[in-house]
Amino acid sequence: MSSLSPAEVRVIVIGALLALFLSALDQTIVATALPPIAADLGGFTLISWVVTAYLLTSTCITPIVGKLSDLYGRRRILNLSLILFMIGSALSALAPSMPLLILFRAIQGLGGGGLLTVGQTVIADVVSPRERGRYAGHFAVVWGSASILGPTVGGLLTQYYGWPWIFWINIPFGLAALLIADRALRKLPIESHRSRIDLWGVLFLSVGTVCFLVLLSLGGKVIPWTAPPALLLAAVAAVGGVLFARAQTRAAEPILPPRFLKDGVIRPVLVVSVIIYAVWLAVSVLAPVYFQVARGASVSEAGLLMIPIMLSSTITANVAGRYTRRHGRYKRPPIVSLPLTILCLFLLAAFAADLSPYAAATILMVAGFGFGPIFPCCNVAAQNAVQRRDLGAVSGAVAFARTLGGALGVAAASALVLGLLAGALGRGGEVGDIEDLVRQSLSPEARATVAGAFAVMFGACGVVLALGLGVYALVEDRELGEHPPAAPIPAGE
């Protein structure tokens, strides 16, 4: 038996970070290219599905691929995810029609969801629980950088080279990730499991998740929330969830082991991941709309005003990671920081109609300092609570909870704002969705009305975040381990 050298660990970390960067970048890089894509391929009515298809498959695959990596090894599943991602990227670049582009984006999402989960799990394999917070901070930096760079890079590539290049750019990065990490990952052991993946669980999880996300994507926009199609989607999602939960109690290798929900760390962490990410994504998606519609900022200004919150959250994510490394505990940083974010959201609720765009962005930046620590601390806590054989499953479960929470948060916050504005903008000011709101030409009085609706939204986010803080307070603060869980094997075996 041989141990991984520090140099080999660094190689693995670089490969994992590059994989995560690809996954994060493709969630944002497409946004600015959608109008040229629709103009080139037609199918304007289907354009939103270019984003939705990726979201559906990447969300469904996260818990599944986590379990697959536990059963069949990280290297195999990471390589498969990278290959799928590159195939989907190449096909998307070559897509001759909108329906085929949507299909190819779904394939790309299967790979992207795998990169997100396995990338984080690989780090947990090769570094000790006490060191993971520092690397989780690195992940936060990569994720924040991709979120900021995505729209800008997408716009530049589309303008100067054409929209296919937002997909072609993934190929060299994907090949680099394969070459960087593959050799070192050969030294990680493959756990020997005779049980196969829980196929019934995969089916029920996929059906339930797809119906739930389609409902959130179309509800209140394409179809009314109370229309029969929406009610049918809700019913199928609920039945899929119940059948999935039942299948997990019977499967030899469940995707989401029931013991997770009995654990004093994992259970509250999963709940917190849904709540906190719901607030984070609601603020991240709707704050630019607030800047544009309520405060009169341009599209480019709104994008620039979101950079401070992204940067501040990555700074404190790194600080929290270093804290966990030094003290061997993970609970205190979010307990200290989240009240600051709650206060900032209540300040925005109180003064949303009076703040300048720059003052509001400053408050959001301070809120970002409070948000940052919760993300690495939740990852570290959940991974520290399981043995190596469950690292992929628990990483996938946390990623899945965050994605569902984000989708739910954006849908709920959008519905709240639009519900408050229903009939309040006067004749000709009706809006069907948030995008319609941005396109409206509003009077100063109407902008004040919009600011009032966003004030309620910010206040609601503060209340929900306070609930999340209360749940996080229930997380057991277990001491972090000192040694990596993986027992490496000699190269080539």
The residue ranking higher by pLDDT, 55 or 370, is: 370
pLDDT of residue 7: 76
Angle (CA) 378-379-383 rounded to 5° is 115
pLDDT at 230 over 60: yes
Q: Among 240-254, 382-396, 425-439, where is mean pLDDT lowest?
A: 425-439
Which distant-in-sequence residues (6+ apart) come within 8 Å of 15 by Cβ?
Answer: 122, 177, 180, 181, 182, 184, 185
pLDDT of residue 489: 40
pLDDT at 135 over 80: no
* Nearest C-alpha neighbor of 58 from the set 99, 118, 140: 118
pLDDT of residue 491: 38
pLDDT at 340 over 70: yes
Domains 1-186 and 259-479 equal at CATH topology level: yes
Q: How far apart are CA 85 and CA 64, in angstroms?
A: 16
Q: Are 245 and 235 in contact (CB under 8 A)?
A: no
The residue ranking higher by pLDDT, 190 or 259, is: 259
Q: How far apart are CA 206 and CA 236, in angstroms?
A: 11
Angle of the 199-218 helix axis to the 49-72 helix axis, nearest 10? 160
User: Mean pLDDT, to the nearest integer, of 83-112?
Assistant: 91
pLDDT at 179 over 80: yes
pLDDT of residue 325: 84
Q: Are 390 and 256 in contact (CB under 8 A)?
A: no
Angle (CA) 260-261-267 rounded to 5° is 95
Q: How far apart are CA 201 and CA 242, in angstroms?
A: 11
Q: How far apart are CA 205 and CA 400, in angstroms?
A: 11
pTM: 0.84
Q: Among 17-21, 179-183, 238-242, 377-381, where is mean pLDDT lowest?
A: 179-183
Range 1-186 classified under CATH 1.20.1250.20: yes
Q: How far apart are CA 405 and CA 400, in angstroms?
A: 8
The residue ranking higher by pLDDT, 226 or 368, is: 368
Angle (CA) 224-226-232 rounded to 5° is 100
Alpha helices in 73-97 (DSSP H): 74-94
Question: What is the residue-averaged pLDDT of the chain?
Answer: 83
CATH number of 259-479: 1.20.1250.20
Domain ranges across the chain: 1-186, 198-252, 259-479
pLDDT of residue 47: 77
pLDDT of residue 190: 58
